[in-house]
A and B are shown apart, each in its own frame.
Chain A
């Protein structure tokens, strides 16, 4: 009997030791994402996918420039290090021209009707899909509720840039900063200015991709922009959010990822006005900064990365990210009654996403914004006069686009 028990015990132990050896090792996927809320909401969704697909995910959280560099530097390698990547819309032309991203259509992906159609415009080359719109970043106007009320406006009333200026002037007269703009990189300066240019009917390039920054529309928009700047000042992103939240400033352009307002918060968003004044006709003035996701062309686990992309784009999964600060590009999330009760600003974001405008899809966009931003900054700071600054910008950009 003892022998039998001992034999059973030994067999059981041997079996227990052998089982893990036969169990399949989990596959490792590497995700390269934009740091902050954009990547955090993806990270929160991963455990369920990992358990379901026997996968472990390593996530790299990076700054804007670092993310671009790392994806690009990895691209020429035959065996890529990254599987799923987060891509800014402005990199699309450069990445698709150089075979950085996998063709999602070939992998079987298609957009459903729930995704806000305008946000998919940047994701395709012809009929082929390369990216999926994940985080609905679109320029909105961040405002302090009290200072807006003090100026005699309700958020829904502010539908013209003339009213925007009026609020900024009243806040300024009350000893506050009226309107804040972002300094720092050229991209910040250009991105924040684009809505002001759009409302004046201008654009930064023409249909032949030639620069159009020394035009009457550009000049008029820039003069108005500087007038607004003089009612406030230049700060970096964190300071803008803090200043508006604590009541030191009335208005500033922002992105939904910067700040999550609730019904009780001091600040919230409204859609960037679409008209210059009451007599003007409405234009699309919200600019997209949508963070998209794609699969790296040289991924070692392309199929699995594609499965992850589909999972992350699932309506229920995206809805679950809203509580964490996510801004899905899906109607089912942005028009959900529970979401709107908790985050009323989502209705604003949704309408901004429906009418947004993408930055130009040109390979040279990063350098374009660097040049234009620096020239605009010299004019804003008073180093050059406007005519000289815009003429210099135009000639430098013409050289770039030759």
Chain B
């Protein structure tokens, strides 16, 4: 009798444990199909000389040849350096400007909604539209920016074709478009900071700067970490703006990893080489964002 009760209890425990697994199984399967499968195939292709027009049947295993070629490629090394430099600068600028705007808007007594909507506009525009609009405005020949500079007797530049200005110009456009995203996320985080803490800080004699560093920042640090992570991943994949505005030039000063992979892998349908670059890029993003991931988990 006792044994029967024990057996029944164990069976019920097992079925209780199996039930949640059964429930999440469809999600796991979908995730595996959509994420793991392409990743595994990209990894496999990265060890082959797969050329799309020749087909998978003609693809041969080439070991680490693609990886050796990639790391020996000076254009790739330049693209990696550009991407890392661009990502660090863009994320820092976007985070600082976005945070300052969020704090400023939060402090407004009136007009928060209007300002919020207006500030979001650049982020709502498609990247291609943003790139084309800026290209027109910064045109060396008929762009409004150079015309204004000329009328003020200031020097004019060939913004996208000059080695001294191209990188900074693309960076500026990217920051302009993505600051609203940072602002929105941090503004949402700021809503969760209790006013009691500010009141207590004021009673203790903390000034505005001290309140910012000892109340605001500690309360929204997980929001900042998440935002920085998302921006790092997104900026690392920068492609459309560079492709439309500079094509990676002049002299490769604006080429990014994705631009390199497009020019030397995807455009030429060398999917084996392109896959190898994609794997290297994934690893680099993971390394660069591991700091934030750790921070977000803790």
Q: Which residues of A contact B (CB under 8 A)?
A: 65, 68-69, 72-73, 75-76, 94, 98, 100, 183-186, 233-236, 238-239, 242-243, 246, 248, 364, 366-367, 370-371, 374, 377-378, 380-383, 392
Contacts and interface: CB of A to CB of B under 8 A. Distances in A.
12 contacts: A75-B53, A76-B55, A94-B53, A246-B141, A366-B268, A370-B263, A374-B75, A378-B251, A381-B251, A382-B163, A383-B163, A392-B74
Given A76-B55, A370-B264, A377-B250, 5 more contacts: A184-B246, A233-B161, A234-B250, A239-B142, A364-B268
A126 B192 CA distance: 74
Contacts of B249: 183-185, 374, 377
A367 B266 CA distance: 11
A371 B73 CA distance: 11
A336 to B, nearest CB: 34
A248 B249 CA distance: 24
Contacts, number: 79
Contact of A239 (B53, B74, B139, B248): B139
Nearest to B56: A76
A238 B244 CA distance: 13
B142 A381 contact: no
B136 to A, nearest CB: 9
B53 A100 contact: yes
Given A73-B52, A234-B250, A367-B264, A242 B161 contact: no
Contacts of B248: 374
Interface residues of B, number: 27
A392 B78 CA distance: 15
Nearest to A399: B69
Contacts of A68: 267
Given A183-B161, A243-B141, A378 B53 contact: no
A244 B37 CA distance: 53
A72 B161 CA distance: 31
B220 interface: no
Interface string B35-59: 0000000000000000011110000
Contacts of B246: 184
Contacts of A239: 139-142
Interface of B: 52-55, 74-75, 139-142, 158, 160-161, 163, 246-252, 263-264, 266-269
Contacts of B252: 374, 377-378
A234 B158 contact: yes
Contacts of B158: 233-235
B140 A235 contact: yes
Contacts of B247: 183-185
The 4 closest A-B pairs by CB, nearest first: A98-B53, A381-B251, A184-B247, A239-B141
A234 B161 contact: yes
B269 A248 contact: no
B141 A72 contact: no
B53 A366 contact: no
B268 A367 contact: yes
A374 B160 CA distance: 16
A246 to B, nearest CB: 8
Nearest to A182: B161
Nearest to B74: A392
Contacts of B160: 183, 236
A100 B55 CA distance: 13
A382 B75 CA distance: 17
A65 B161 contact: no
A65 B251 contact: no
A246 B53 CA distance: 45
B161 to A, nearest CB: 4
A98 B58 CA distance: 12
B163 to A, nearest CB: 5
A72 B250 contact: no
Contacts of A184: 246-247, 249
Which of B53, B141, B266 is the most central at the interface, judged by chain A CB atoms within 10 Å of its CB?
Answer: B141
Contacts of A238: 139
Contacts of A381: 163, 250-251
A69 B267 CA distance: 7
Given A98-B54, A377-B250, A383-B251, A366 B267 contact: yes
B67 to A, nearest CB: 16
A72 B251 contact: no
Nearest to A234: B161
Nearest to A389: B251
Contacts of B266: 69
A234 B162 CA distance: 8
A43 B70 CA distance: 43
Nearest to A94: B53
